[in-house]
């Protein structure tokens, strides 16, 4: 067999008969080690090495102006200028326009799946008359209208007409599921619960509750004595329905509730829990795990927070206010005062002084993480509220007059009436 001599200081000659199981000679081992070391110094192109997108991305200035209303729902930004309404996509694309009597500022907007429901009044022959419409947010088509006031709740829409009759519709189809005859509802309230229902006070003085969608009576009627000289309004409370009585003056004008002008009915049983004789001057609101109670007295209004079992309560500082939003209890007071407080005792959990909540354009705001804004000299900082405090996001280079937010989009009006739209990424 021929002997092969290899010089370790120079490349070897080709040897086709070298077996694969033989170890690499020192020269090749040195060369391979040098190549591996060089490759280790070369940066690899991975997603981690790519530049991160800006957490706050400007999308567009909308071509219209908003002089009367700015709303956002289902990814559609709705502007109202007193002459009608226009819907835009977040990138500034115009989707639809409705001219005439539709105005988000003159009528109360309510979210209803794919619809924009507006309820209020329009001019009539003898003055203002009730009027409500439902608009398809995608096409802008006016799919429903009624000479009534409407309330959206639990997938349904309740319409209260001028003759005190009621019609209840299913939102998804706008199909009427049941109705109540005339004079059956001087005032109307709804149950926002897993099992929706409506409660109505009739001209006959009977307070009735109806299951939705069947329309079957949920309780025996309860008689409520309302003086003929007073109008009655039902206000949704936390565990009670609060009836406010307004004394009519000459000419039909109404005054604010005075002495002997409130009564309350338990939501679950319809039992009257207090009446006019007790001169109860408090109004209850649902604040998540607790009940917020606003009281009226000669020295002014005060606010307390009451536990659901009625065993504990704590006062809100004078001129303060509390509201349950984004799964937290917020306390506000003088301008710039904002804090997240413990529902059990009112102690401050997160101090948000100098910040403000950016709400959605709908009554009650939106669920999910709260978007917070803080105005500065050169722009407005944005942050989300985490479990332990603020999570900064970024900023926008302007001081807006008004903002509305629906994740992930933020729309703000500027001082000159323009509307800017941004995409806001989640906080890291």
Q: Partners of 262 in the beta sheet?
A: 244
Q: What is the spatial distance between Cα 346 and Cα 357, in angstroms, rounded to a whole number?
A: 19
Q: Determine the average pLDDT of the residues in 187-207.
A: 77
Above 70 in pLDDT, residue 57? yes
Sign of CA dihedral 293, 294, 297, 301: positive
* Distance separating alpha carbons of residues 152 and 57, to the nearest angstrom: 34
Average pLDDT for 39-59: 60
In terms of C-beta distances under 8 Å and separation of at least 24 residues, what long-range contacts does 302-305 make, across chains too?
305/329, 305/343, 305/346
Q: Is pTM beyond 0.75 here? A: no
Q: Which of 115-124, 169-178, 226-235, 346-355 has the lowest mean pLDDT?
A: 226-235
Q: Would you place residue 69 in the very low, low, confident or very high pLDDT band (cuts 50, 70, 90)?
A: low
In the predicted structure, residue 342 carries a pLDDT above the cut 90: yes
CB neighbours (10 Å) of residue 282?
20
Per-residue confidence (pLDDT) for residue 427, from 0 to 100:
57
Whether residue 408 is preceded by a cis peptide bond, meaning omega within 30 degrees of 0, is yes
Residue 293 has pLDDT above 50, yes or no: yes
Residue, of 373 and 20, whose pLDDT is higher: 373
Identify the band that residue 230 occupies on the pLDDT scale cut at 50, 70 and 90.
low
Q: Check residues 409 and 224 and name the one with the higher pLDDT.
A: 409
- The rounded distance, in Å, linking the Cα atoms of 302 and 293 is 8
Under 8 Å between Cβ of 394 and 408: no
pLDDT at 428: 58
Q: Residue 249: pLDDT band by 50, 70, 90 thresholds? A: low
Count of all residues that appear for the chain in the document: 428
* Residue 39 backbone dihedrals phi, psi, to 5 degrees: -65, -30
């Amino acid at each position: 067999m021929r002997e092969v001599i290899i010089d370790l200081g120079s490349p070897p000659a080709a040897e086709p008969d070298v077996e694969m199981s033989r170890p690499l000679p020192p020269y090749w081992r040195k060369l391979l080690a040098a190549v591996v070391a060089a490759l280790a110094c070369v940066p690899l192109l991975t997603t981690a090495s790519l530049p991160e997108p800006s957490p706050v991305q400007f999308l567009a200035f909308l071509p219209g102006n908003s002089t009367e209303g700015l709303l956002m729902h289902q990814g559609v930004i709705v502007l109202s200028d007193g002459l009608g309404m226009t819907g835009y996509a977040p990138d500034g694309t115009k989707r639809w326009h409705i001219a005439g009597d539709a105005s988000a500022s003159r009528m109360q907007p309510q979210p209803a799946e794919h619809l924009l429901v507006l309820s209020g009044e329009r001019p009539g022959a003898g003055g203002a008359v009730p009027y409500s419409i439902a608009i398809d947010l995608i096409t802008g088509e006016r799919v429903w209208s009624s000479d009534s006031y409407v309330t959206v709740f639990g997938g349904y829409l309740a319409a209260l007409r001028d003759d005190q009759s009621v019609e209840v519709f299913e939102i998804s189809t706008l199909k009427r599921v049941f109705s109540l005859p005339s004079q059956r509802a001087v005032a109307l309230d709804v149950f926002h619960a897993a099992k929706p229902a409506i409660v109505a006070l009739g001209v006959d003085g009977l307070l009735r509750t109806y299951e939705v969608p069947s329309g079957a009576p949920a309780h025996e009627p309860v008689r409520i004595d309302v003086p003929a000289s007073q109008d009655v309004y039902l206000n949704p409370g936390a565990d009670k329905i609060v009836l406010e009585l307004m004394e009519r003056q000459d000419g039909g004008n109404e005054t604010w509730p005075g002495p002997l002008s409130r009564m309350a009915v338990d939501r679950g049983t319809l039992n009257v829990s207090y009446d006019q004789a007790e001169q109860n001057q408090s109004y209850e609101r649902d604040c998540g795990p607790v009940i917020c109670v606003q009281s009226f007295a000669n020295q002014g209004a005060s606010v307390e927070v009451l536990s659901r079992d009625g065993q504990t309560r704590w006062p809100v500082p004078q001129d303060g206010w509390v509201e349950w939003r984004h799964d937290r209890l917020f306390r506000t007071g003088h301008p710039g005062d904002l804090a997240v407080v413990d529902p059990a005792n009112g102690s401050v959990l997160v101090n948000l002084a100098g910040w403000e909540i950016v709400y959605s354009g709908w009554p009650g705001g939106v669920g999910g993480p709260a978007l917070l804004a803080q105005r500065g000299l050169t722009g407005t900082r944005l942050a989300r509220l985490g479990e332990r405090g603020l999570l900064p996001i970024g900023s926008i280079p302007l001081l807006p007059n008004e903002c509305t937010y629906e994740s992930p989009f933020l729309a703000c009006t500027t001082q000159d009436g323009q509307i800017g739209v941004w995409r806001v990424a989640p906080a890291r």
